[in-house]
Amino acid sequence: MTERVALSGVTETMLATLYCKALESREPSPLLADEQAERAVERIDYDFAKLKIDRSTAIATAIRALYLDRWAGEALDEHPDAVVLHLGCGLDTRSDRLSPGPGLTWYDVDYPEVIEIRRRLFSERPGHHQVAASVTDPAWLAGVPADRPAVIVAEGLVQYLAKEQIAELFTRLVTHFPSGAVMFDAWNSLAMRSGSRQKAIKASGAKLGGFGINDPRIIETLVPGLRFDAEQTFLDVPEMVNFSKAGQTAFKMMNHVPALRNMGRLLRYRF
Q: Which residue range(s) make up the domain with 142? A: 3-270
Instruction: Provide the 8-state DSSP code for 208.
Output: -
* pLDDT value, residue 160: 96
The total number of structural domains in the chain stands at 1
CATH classification of the domain holding 153:
3.40.50.150
**Residues 107, 85: Cα–Cα separation, whole Å:** 5
* Contact residues for 104 (Cβ-Cβ < 8 A; gap 6+): 76, 79, 80, 81, 82, 83, 84, 127
> From the first residue on, what is the mean pLDDT of each consecutive set of 10 residues in the chain (271 residues)?
83 94 95 94 93 94 97 96 97 91 92 95 89 98 97 97 98 98 97 88 89 98 97 96 96 96 97 98
Residue-level pLDDT at 197:
85
Instruction: Give the pLDDT confidence score for residue 200 in this predicted structure.
Output: 82
**Alpha helices (runs of H) in 9-156, residue ranges in sequence order:** 13-25, 35-43, 55-78, 94-98, 112-121
pLDDT value at position 214? 97
**Would the pTM of this model clear 0.85, i.e. be above it?**
yes
Nearest to 152 by CA among 144, 161, 143: 144
Nearest CA among 182, 115, 191 for reference residue 159: 191
Tell me how far apart the alpha carbons of residues 34 and 37 are, in angstroms, rounded to a whole number.
5
